[in-house]
Amino acid sequence: MILPALLRARSQHRKLLAVLVDPDKASRENLETLGAYANEGLVDYFLWGGSLVNEGESSYYLRLLKSITDVPVLLFPGSVYQLDEQADALLLLSLISGRNPELLIGHHVTVAGRIKQLGLTPIPTGYILIDGGRPTSVTYMSGTTPIPSDKPAIAAATALAGEQLGLRLIYLDAGSGALNPVDARMIRAVRAEVDLPLIVGGGIRSPERARQALNAGADLIVVGNGLERDAHWLPELAEVVRGGVRVG
Ligand code: 1GP
């Protein structure tokens, strides 16, 4: 029931926070810290995935996280090998900013039967990569060119096409560890064009960057790297998210 919850939050103007865990970089200590914050109500979702993932370790760490907290985990797969039935849903990503047919339909065909077999709930997601100031793992691994950060109209048209194709979420991503997060003008342009829940991530490493993304119209922000390095600013981050939209 993840998608209905996202739609409800959007209609109630409730902003949400997702913490991205790259299973390759997971550790017991980090998961215990994040899980404890999640149990205090500071985290709405975990996203689970990375560009290169060792399947066995991923499954072990996901089991560990699920044993710590009931906060839902959404798979955010970097490849077809990252399906895991322990997750609560799957962001079924279509990389609509790119022109790589494998990431638009090819891999989806490969794993369609497996998704059904595992009983995973897929949430069709229009995944849009935005230039974040330096090449990231995802641009390299996907073999696609991100949308230039100063071309909000292209991002807005891409998101609109995704909505018209029937996708249910839009995810604007500057890529993990991006130098620059997605520009506020770009978020605003996409927000003005589509009515779908809007996820924004990549390079959000401070409460101020989180606030800018939320003010510009993100419904759900995703933070990975910044919390991997130090999870202790999560309460401050959560306060910005809970505080909703405040300009300045
Ligand atoms: C990347 O949007 C996520 O896909 C999170 O990015 O790791 O830079 O927070 P960071």
pLDDT digits (tens, 9 = 90+) for 17-33: 999 999 999 999 999 99
HSE (side-chain half, CA atoms, 13 Å) at 182: 38
Specify whether the CB–CB gap between 224 and 193 falls below 8 A: no
Q: Pocket of ligand 1, candidates 46, 225, 233: which has the most ligand atoms within 8 Å of its Cβ, to mutate?
A: 225
Centre of ligand 1 from the C-alpha of residue 184, in Å:
16
Atom of ligand 1 nearest to the CA of 204: 9
Question: Nearest CA to 128 among 89, 74, 90, 167?
Answer: 167
Residue 51 is predicted with a pLDDT of 85
Indicate yes or no: pTM above 0.85.
Answer: yes
The residue extents of the domains of the chain are 2-241
Residue carrying the six token digits 């229009």: 126
Residue 244 is predicted with a pLDDT of 66
Q: What is the pLDDT of residues 157-216, one digit of tens each?
A: 999 999 999 999 999 999 999 999 999 999 999 999 999 999 999 999 999 999 999 999
* Over residues 115-143, mean pLDDT: 96
Specify whether the CB–CB gap between 171 and 125 falls below 8 A: yes
Question: Nearest CA to 202 among 238, 164, 172, 168?
Answer: 172
**What architecture is the 2-241 domain classified under in CATH?**
Alpha-Beta Barrel (3.20)
Q: What is the dihedral of CA 222, 90, 96, 221, to 10 degrees?
A: -10
Atom of ligand 1 nearest to the CA of 205: 9
Centre of ligand 1 from the C-alpha of residue 21, in Å:
9
Per-residue pLDDT band at 12 (split at 50, 70, 90): very high
- pLDDT of 248 strictly over 90: no
Opening angle at CA 194, ends 154 and 45, nearest 5: 105
Tell me the C-alpha to C-alpha distance, in Å, between residue 157 and each of 20, 142, 164, 171, 216: 27, 21, 10, 14, 17
